[in-house]
Amino acid sequence: MHCSIGKAQERALTTNPPAGMVRVFESTEHTIGEPEERSPISFGPQRAPALTIFVDDAKRYQTMGGFGASITDSSAWLLRNKLSDSQFQKIMEMLFDGEKGIGLNLLRQPMGSSDFAREDYTYDDMPPGQSDPELRHFSIEKDQRYIIPVLRAALAINPQIKILATPWSPPGLDEIQRFPSPGGAAARELRNHGQLFREICKGL
């Protein structure tokens, strides 16, 4: 990889700006070539009103629900298969312990596979051409291999973690290639989808 800097920036590196001043280079969608040098600005306790953000901590709006990530199939597999037990415990504490680590407290969990899974699957996979609207073949067995044990380990460290279950795509039983009539097939598929959500909560 070859990296270079523009002539204006090169001059800035060899020429010291005036005391208390900062050189400014600007690049926008209209810039052609190297960034353009703008007027220097003063660096000090004085604030430019147009560039200052004032935070009024007396006003409250929405609250922050949490900060977190997602324990996907691939990440859970790596955590349980590529780390020793002591390494696994240490990295979990680094992730979810507020004293020993960053204290993540929100997990957005895929309902079935995601784009970070080792294989594509849902909780009710059926052979091509077959469907299971009653969810008789519902199973979270694939999540029980790695994802759920890692989730339980996270909850053991921080029982206050919020888990948001989210489908990355509609389950196979909902992916219908037709234009449903009002109150007919669409309503039936919606009920099936709601039932799937309920079974997932029960299974977890």
Answer whether residue 105 is part of any domain. Answer: yes
Print the domain residue range for 121.
68-203
Q: Is residue 57 part of a domain?
A: no
Q: Are residues 103 and 140 in the same domain?
A: yes
Is position 58 within any domain? no
136 within domain boundaries: yes
Task: State the CATH number of the domain containing residue 149.
Answer: 3.20.20.80
User: pLDDT digits over 97-142, tens only?
Assistant: 999 999 999 999 988 888 888 888 888 888 888 877 777 888 888 8
**CA 71 – CA 101 distance, rounded (Å):** 17
In a domain, 165, yes or no: yes
User: What's the per-residue H, E or C state across the chain?
Assistant: CCCCCCHHHHHHHHCCCCCCEEEEEECCCCCCCCCEEEEEEECCCCCCHHHCCCCCCCCCCCCCCCCEECCCHHHHHHHHHCCCHHHHHHHHHHHHCCCCCCCCCEEEEECCCCCCCCCCCCCCCCCCCCCCCCCCCCCCHHHHHCHHHHHHHHHHHCCCCEEEEECCCCCHHHCCCCCCCCCCHHHHHHHHHHHHHHHHHHHC
Residue 75 counted as domain residue: yes
Number of domains, the chain: 2
Read off the pLDDT of each residue in 72-94 and give the average, rounded to a whole number. Answer: 95
pLDDT tens-place string over residues 145-191 = 999 999 999 999 999 999 998 887 665 554 444 434 344 444 445 55
Same domain, 88 and 184: yes
- What's the average model confidence in pLDDT over 186-198? 61
pTM of the model: 0.62
Structure tokens at 195: 């039932």
Query: Is 13 or 4 the better-scoring residue by pLDDT?
Result: 13
**pLDDT tens-digit profile of 38-73?**
888 887 777 666 777 888 889 888 888 899 999 999
Answer yes or no: do 77 and 110 share one domain. Answer: yes
Neighbours of 65 (CB within 10 A): 10
In a domain, 53, yes or no: no
Residues 36 and 127 in one domain: no
